[in-house]
Amino acid sequence: MSTREEILGAAQRRLNLDPTSSMADIAAAAGIGRATLHRHFSGREDLLTEIGARSLDRWEERLDAARVGDVCSSDDADRLRATLVTLLGQYLEDSDDFGFALTDQFVLAEPTLTARGEALAEREIELFAAAQAAGVLRDDVSPRWISQACYGLLVAARDALRAGDVPRRDLDTVVASFFLHGAAAPGKPL
């Protein structure tokens, strides 16, 4: 007897391994019949939309827990810097759990998810802008670009983890250090 939560968890793990998984693959991975899966979700798009919504729930929880609004108005460089690094570590954890939703074309184009994702992105962009104003982040690029670059590095981190290019224990340090300082050798600016 699988609950809806258990089915969603199994679907998510299966889709992370193979984003092209069919409803039959997902039912098999959840250990249920296709009829049972279809009682819970009318189709693959319905299931993907719910997983996409859960990934946005997680993002929202992270921003809420970090008290992003307070941190932005604090204008406190140390607090801004610490919040950025903490959030980045949490995003890395989440991009492992919700890896497929990061780049799934259906999830990224679904209108209700897109609208909600844009509103969350605005909160994050506000944090990057505050970090720029406090001298933590460079201010010669737009905070929107910093947000896009952060997303791109999460995609890279998810892929690197799966390919075994970076051990899990080093991932937070490697990604935070790359996000802040890039790939150039220290003291050798281009």
Query: What whole-number distance in Å separates Cα of residue 30 and Cα of residue 8?
Result: 9
**Residues 110-169 interacting with a second copy (rule: CB under 8 A):** 132, 135-139, 141-142, 144-146, 148-149, 151-157, 159-160, 163, 165-166
Residue 23: exposure state from Cβ atoms within 10 A (0-12, 13-18, ≥19): middle
Which of 34, 159, 180 has its CA nearest to residue 92?
159
Is the separation of the CB atoms in 113 and 98 below 8 Å? no
From residue 31 to residue 70, the character string flagging contacts with a second copy as x (rule: CB under 8 A) and all else as - is ----------------------------------------
* Cβ neighbours of 37 (radius 10 Å): 22
Q: Site size for a second copy, by CB under 8 A?
A: 51
Please pick, from the candidates 104, 124, 126, 172, the single residue that binds a second copy as defined by CB under 8 A.
104
Of 28 and 161, the one with the shorter C-beta distance to a second copy is 161
**Residues 8-27 interacting with a second copy (rule: CB under 8 A):** 18-20
Query: What whole-number distance in Å separates Cα of residue 68 and Cα of residue 83?
Result: 8
Query: What whole-number distance in Å separates Cα of residue 70 and Cα of residue 155?
Result: 28
**Residues 76-95 interacting with a second copy (rule: CB under 8 A):** 81, 85
CB of 94 to a second copy, least distance (A): 16
Of 33 and 167, the one with the shorter C-beta distance to a second copy is 167
Within 8 A by CB and 6+ apart from 75, the residues are: 130, 133, 134
Contact footprint for a second copy (CB under 8 A): 18-20, 81, 85, 100, 103-106, 109, 132, 135-139, 141-142, 144-146, 148-149, 151-157, 159-160, 163, 165-166, 174, 176-186, 188-190
